[in-house]
A = this chain, B = another copy of it.
Amino acid sequence: MRTICFLSDFGLADDFVGTCKGVMLKISPGVQILDLTHQVPSFAVEAGAEILQHATRYMPEDSVYLAVVDPGVGTERREVALETSSGASMVGPDNGLLIPAAEALGGASSVVELTNEEYRIHPVSNTFHGRDVFSPVAAYLAVGVGLRELGSEIPLDSLARLDVEEDEASGGEIAARVIDIDRFGNARLSIREYGSGFEYGDELKLDIGDGGMGIRYVATFGAAGAGELILVPDSHWRLSVSINKGSAAKALSLSVGTKVSLKR
C-alpha cells in the first residue's frame, strides 16, 4: 500500500487531524500516514506549497500527498487530484498549493476534479473538506483506485496557480525576496543554493533598497564570527540572510516580501 504524506494547517490542538486519519484507516486499513506537518500558518497557501515542494526530495516515490491549506473551503474553488510523471499522486484544493510540488516531481501527467460523490463522506460539511472530501480520496488512491474513477479529467492549465514572483538573474545579480522569517530572525530567501552561482567564501553585495552592504557567503554558521552578516544555506537548501548569534531580520528590518538583490 502507498504511504500517505499529510500536510495541513489544522494544528494539533483539536481533533481535526485525528478525525481525518480515522476516515483514511476506515477506507484503507493498515495504510501508513506520515505527518509532514500540521502547523502551516493558517490559510498560508504559499508557505504550505514551499514545504510540500521541498518534502518531495525526501518522500517515498509513489507517495499520495494529502495537502489541505484551504482558505476557500465552502466557496466555488474546485477540489482536485493529480498524478505526476514520477508516480506520485496529490490531493487538495485547486488553489495553487499542489503545483510547485507537482513540478518538482516532473509535472502533472493527469488531473481530475473530484466530482464522483461515491468517494466522499456524506453528509459533506461546509467547513471541513479535509475530512469529508480529501481524506477519503487519498485513502482510495493509496489502495489502488484509479485517478479517473474519482471525477472528470480537467486540463492541467486550468489549475489555479500561486502568483509568485520569479527570481531574476542577470549579469551576475539575483533579484529575489524574503519568503519567511524563522524564530531566530534568519530571513529565508526565494533563492535556492544550487541555482545561485555563488561559492562559499564569496564576498557579495546585498542590496535591500538602501545602497547595499557587504555580506559573506558561508557554508555554516560555524564559519562566521559572532555578529557577522552572512548568507548561509538552510536545511531546505535555500539561502538565508543571517547574523551569527543575532537577528538579521531585526538588524536590517527585513520582513516577508522584502525585495533583496545579491551580486558579486
B-binding residues in A (CB < 8 A):
3, 5, 7, 12-19, 21-23, 25-26, 29-30, 32, 34-39, 51, 54-55, 58-61, 63, 74-75, 121, 125-128, 131, 219-222, 233-235, 237
Residues of B within 8 A of A63 (CB): 22
Q: A13-B39, A125-B233, A126-B233 are in contact. Are A59 and B219 (CB under 8 A)?
A: no
- Contact call B235/A55, Cβ cutoff below 8 A: no
A220 to chain B, nearest CB (A): 4
- Contact call A58/B127, Cβ cutoff below 8 A: no
A23 to chain B, nearest CB (A): 5
Q: A39-B13, A74-B220 are in contact. Are A55 and B22 (CB under 8 A)?
A: yes
Can you list 21 A-B pairs with a CB-CB distance of less than 8 A?
Answer: A3-B25, A3-B29, A5-B18, A12-B38, A13-B37, A21-B35, A22-B36, A22-B55, A22-B58, A22-B60, A23-B58, A25-B34, A25-B59, A25-B60, A30-B32, A58-B121, A58-B131, A74-B220, A126-B219, A126-B222, A127-B234
Determine how many copies of this chain the complex contains: 3
Cβ 8 A contact of A18, one of B15, B18, B34, B131: B34
A7, A16, A23, A37 — most chain B CB neighbours (10 Å):
A37
Residues of B within 8 A of A36 (CB): 15, 18-19, 22
A83 to chain B, nearest CB (A): 19
